[in-house]
Structure 1
Amino acid sequence: MTRTVIFIVFFLIVPCYLVSQEATTYKGSVVDALTQEVIPFATIAVYNANQELVDGTSTNNQGQFEFTTDKLFTYFEVTFIGYKTEIIQYTALDNPVNLLFNLRTIVSDLDEVVIQAERTTTQLKIDRKIINLGTDIQQSGTNALEAFDQIPDIQTDLGTGSISLRGNDNVRILINGKPSALNAVELLEQIPSSTIKSVEIITSPSAKYQADGLTGVINIILKSNTNKGTNLSLNSSFGTKRYGYGVTGNHNFSKVNLSFTGSQSGREMDSKQTINRVFNNGDTQNIFTPYDFNGLTRKLAGGVDYFINDNNELSVGLDYTDDYHSFYNTSQYFDVTNRDDFTYTRNAEHSHTTYVFNANYRKKFEKENHFLELDFNLNDNKNEYPVSDFEDRVFIFDQEINENNKIHALSLDYSLPITQTLQFEVGGSFNSSDIQNQRYIRLDTTDETLDTFKYSEELFGIYGLTKFTLKKIDWQLGLRYEYFTSNSTNTLNSEITDLRFSNLFPSIHAAYKFNQNNTFSIGYSRRISRPNLHHVNPFQLGNPFFRFEGNSRLEPESSDNLEISYHKNKKSFNWSATTFYRYRKNIILWVNDIEDNNIQVISFQNKGINHSFGIESTMQIKLLNSWNTQFTGNYYFTKTEDNDIVTWDELYSSNLQLKNTFKITKSISTDITYRHTPKRQNPFNFIEPRHRIDWGVRAKFLQNKFTANLRVIDVLDNNLMKRTTRTRDFEQRTIWKFQSQTLGFLCSLNYVLSKNKNKTRNRKKRKYRHNDGNN
């Protein structure tokens, strides 16, 4: 332990002696004069006595700037949209390497005009990519899962409900940096896309993040209602077997901001699968299974932000979600060896009730980005999964699984800027999860049975991070330590587990800016996937033809990730390219086995090593003032070693997307998107190519206060999924026709009911994001 402490201290202090400054360098930052929040991408121009432009630059993501010049000049001119132009004379400078320019907002008595970003934009930071959701037509009136389907960086399959990054589904999903007890798909289906401000895609997380998620983290940042005065937004949507409506608003006093949101959405979906299965012993089993889904989600949320004074801020929020959905399918079994044809019916329901409480306190000091922040989050989640099964209308069994899950998360962060180019951050977190899982079964010929599976986790983590600039290279170095324990008790077989793991996770990121238009970056991180409830829990829904089996003997899977990126940014042309290598060992693999009577058993095993490579590229071109086009492509390849279980040891996947946006008039725009998914291969499945075309149109009225959208997903309605599954026990052919084509219509209204011209609290720029590395 002593050696570890010495290493951390050395790791954080050494960079102090590496930072150097040049005499002709001007450094500083641009902030809002009222709130003191940083202003990214502000323009700093330098003029001589003849009012001629001689040099200049712009602020970075953190509102900081730096430039070197040997030219004589007399004043700075600092500008940004929505702010008054500020003139600063050279003679007024105290310290050229510690400049602070304050901009004041433009005050107007004109009627309120609602301005929203027209397009989703991408912002690259040293350790992540931020997708700032605009008012994209294809994302209007959707839930988060459907909105992700329009982001090529995230591989989303609406048919199977899977989420993956870089060809792998071991991804950690966070909401405002906080974990959820729900699985990824059910969580994303609860969130309206209209409430999302941005999505952080973190494929090479720094040491500030918890180490879960082998391929990275997807952090969804929700909008906060903190506009001045009293504001109200209404929206409603309807479409193919769906509807939704909601209201959001806030009232901002001089020191207190009250916010609220409420929504309800309903959605139905149908799909049809044809399955042809041949076992190695020659037996056959063919199934036609239509599938009906009916869901209803209600959400309520409220929050209070208290601006105690200029240096102390307190926020408290409470969210409530009631998510209910039912499933019904009657499967036709035919050509089953040694059996007559028969019908198998399942009636199932899922009920999820979630309460989330969050309290956040932040203490700011005199220096910019110097703060202490404490955050507490409680996620209380209750789930019920009742099912009833029938064969040829004859009752077989009732089964109900009840799962109660409480997650506590407590975190502390401290950020200390030493100079404009050197900053330290340290912090710690404690997470605990307590789950009680009960399974009730009533068979037609036996007594009722009730079994209990109890599971708990605790995770303690500390980290240190330093950011500094050395010879035009921005560095971020971090080290994280985590201690993890989990315990489980299974009354079914009296099995008890007690797992303990202790790990170090280093991270290194560097970015070199050739000029304002060209940036090169490289990053390394180490991640882990420890055995969790999903892997060890034996009480998961099955039927007489397949079942889950928990594996309490699993060991952690780890990955080392290296990525290299280049970004070119010009006025009408943007291009980015990223390549990566990922080394995974002790793979936790989904395994299918066959028992007597051809019953399929699904479990997890540690097996093998994976070497993964990939490339991602995005190009945005403004062809005309009214025409924007974006082309995105990616390709991922994995080579599996030391694994005799998998069918295919060479795995690959790719995606291509072409998006064109046209502004027909000042208030009418349209979007046409083409997506092609070439053939994919994973350890046990081969999926044939697919493609689709999406179209949408938007019109704005009443000075942009009222918006109407129409969108059609999969215009040609031909997005079939054809999959071949091959294991050592059977081969299966699946044709899946899911409800791919959907039509949706959305109306939204944003209005300012009253204005507050007094000093109002503008919520801190850095919403606490659970050790996320963002200030």
Structure 2
Amino acid sequence: MTNFETEKQSFSAENFESAIGGAATDILRNLPGVSINAEGQLSIRGNVGFVVMLNGRPVQGDPVTLLGQLPANSVEKIEWISSPSAQYDSEGKAGIINITTVRVTTDGLYLQVNSRFGLPSIENYGNAQSQKRYGSDFNLNFVKGKWDFSLGAGYLRNDQAGRREGNVITYRGDTATHFPSRGERSIDEINYSGRFTLGYNPNEKNSLNLGFYAGVRDRVRTADILYFDNHRQINGIRQDSFQYFNANDQNRRGDFVLGSIDYSLKFDSRASLSSSFLYEYTMLGGPTINRNLGYPDLSLVYQDEYNTNDNPLNGIRWNLD
């Protein structure tokens, strides 16, 4: 079901069967106006800089890292609020995306288990290793009287085969330098996460909720490229050629932990009091390894680089409304 209001659009996850077994990002890719580029940047109608909320709680970390670790089967609906209230407007000029996870409203036990398997690639593009695509997740929810308990976890392996062929030519005066190349450009990606929530509602006026989420995203891009005929042409005359092998691995890892506790009190009038405490930890980063080697003698090392890049976040948020 899809609901449209003046300032809010709501999309039910059950409408997107193609995302079953995947992650929350697979649902977002199906929403109108939403795009995720090759670098993993999320935009809505070309705009970036918005707040991502999980069950109504704002998250400060990287949106794609969080959504990529949340199984699609654990998502009940996604809301896009184009005109946020003053409370969040300064943080999300492009709006708010609110992810609501699956919850059972009636007493009883609810269990959902899903699995996903991918067939072997039709074309491997000469990659050194075959691609692996499989995953599984579960949602367990128990509701009894005043108590609401839920538990969930998911694992997803989603590799992509790839190949690059190119030729770069640079000109300087009467000299043209050619860099023809070909080789592997593949991606290995693993996502796994877990969540736990506990709710206690002693009566219609009081509500207490505890939540915990954690996940890891490990993405490795391999670019093993052979520069097989590097040569110069001076005044159209070809010079001696040179070849080398460039082994390049770029690892982008994202770890996150979210813990929250919420309390709300409704008065006899229309007034209400709510308080929320949120702790968040994320670590984005990973090394890039770049090596230029001789070819076919790979034991000859021309260049060996190791660069790392860590982007940590350790924050606390408390709201009183």
| TM-score, normalisation: structure 2 | 0.79
Aligned to 2:309: 401
Q: What does 1:257-272 correspond to in 2, within 5 Å?
A: 257-272=148-163
Higher Rg of the two aligned structures? 1
Alpha-carbon deviation of 1:378?
Answer: 0.8
Cα distance change on mapping 1:188 and 1:287 into 2, 3 Å: farther
The count of residues paired between Structure 1 and Structure 2 equals 291
**1:652-697, Cα deviation, whole Å (9 max, x unpaired):** xxxxxxxxxxxxxxxxxxxxxxxxxxxxxxxxxxxxxxxxxxxxxx
Q: How far apart are the structure 1 equivalents of 2:83 and 2:180?
A: 44
Q: How far apart are the structure 2 equivalents of 1:195 and 1:320?
A: 14
Matched, 1:304 2:198: yes
Give, as a single letter, the amino acid of the residue that structure 2 aligns with 1:252.
V
Cα distance change on mapping 1:203 and 1:275 into 2, 3 Å: farther
Matched, 1:248 2:142: no
Q: How far apart are the structure 2 equivalents of 1:278 and 1:214?
A: 43
Aligned to 2:12: 132
Matched, 1:183 2:91: no
Matched, 1:144 2:38: no
Matched, 1:313 2:214: no
Q: How far apart are the structure 2 equivalents of 1:130 and 1:279?
A: 51
Q: What residue ranges of structure 2 are gaps of 5+ in the alignment?
A: 120-131, 233-240
Contact 1:227–1:250 under 8 Å retained in 2: no
Alpha-carbon deviation of 1:342?
Answer: 2.6
Q: What does 1:513-592 correspond to in 2, within 5 Å?
A: none
Matched, 1:381 2:261: no
Give, as a single letter, the amino acid of the residue that structure 2 aligns with 1:399.
N
Q: How far apart are the structure 1 equivalents of 2:310 and 2:224?
A: 24
Q: How far apart are the structure 1 equivalents of 2:15 and 2:309?
A: 40
Q: How far apart are the structure 2 equivalents of 1:175 and 1:273?
A: 38
Q: What does 1:142-291 correspond to in 2, within 5 Å?
A: 142-157=22-37, 159-180=38-59, 182-240=61-119, 241-277=132-168, 287-288=181-182, 290-291=184-185
Q: How far apart are the structure 2 equivalents of 1:201 and 1:289?
A: 41
Q: How far apart are the structure 2 equivalents of 1:183 and 1:274?
A: 32
Cα distance change on mapping 1:210 and 1:333 into 2, 3 Å: farther
Cα distance change on mapping 1:274 and 1:188 into 2, 3 Å: farther
Q: How far apart are the structure 2 equivalents of 1:125 and 1:259?
A: 30
Give, as a single letter, the amino acid of the residue that structure 2 aligns with 1:379.
E
Alpha-carbon deviation of 1:284?
Answer: 5.9
Q: How far apart are the structure 1 equivalents of 2:79 and 2:72?
A: 14
Q: How far apart are the structure 2 equivalents of 1:180 and 1:342?
A: 45
Q: How far apart are the structure 1 equivalents of 2:67 and 2:110?
A: 27
Cα distance change on mapping 1:225 and 1:335 into 2, 3 Å: farther
Alpha-carbon deviation of 1:288?
Answer: 3.9
Aligned to 2:122: none
**1:119-150, Cα deviation, whole Å (9 max, x unpaired):** xx221223221112224322222212222222
| TM-score, normalisation: structure 1 | 0.35
Contact 1:226–1:259 under 8 Å retained in 2: no
Q: How far apart are the structure 1 equivalents of 2:203 and 2:83?
A: 37
Q: How far apart are the structure 2 equivalents of 1:182 and 1:232?
A: 30
Give, as a single letter, the amino acid of the residue that structure 2 aligns with 1:257.
D
* Partner SS, residue 103 of structure 2: coil
Contact 2:16–2:27 under 8 Å retained in 1: no
Alpha-carbon deviation of 1:337?
Answer: 7.0
Q: How far apart are the structure 1 equivalents of 2:7 and 2:156?
A: 35
- Give the fraction of aligned pairs with identical amino acids, expressed as a percent: 21
Aligned to 2:265: 363
Contact 2:52–2:60 under 8 Å retained in 1: no
Alpha-carbon deviation of 1:384?
Answer: 4.8
* Partner SS, residue 326 of structure 1: strand
Q: How far apart are the structure 1 equivalents of 2:48 and 2:161?
A: 24
Cα distance change on mapping 1:289 and 1:378 into 2, 3 Å: farther
**1:452-502, Cα deviation, whole Å (9 max, x unpaired):** xxxxxxxxxxxxxxxxxxxxxxxxxxxxxxxxxxxxxxxxxxxxxxxxxxx
Alpha-carbon deviation of 1:269?
Answer: 1.2
Alpha-carbon deviation of 1:345?
Answer: 0.7
Contact 1:138–1:150 under 8 Å retained in 2: no
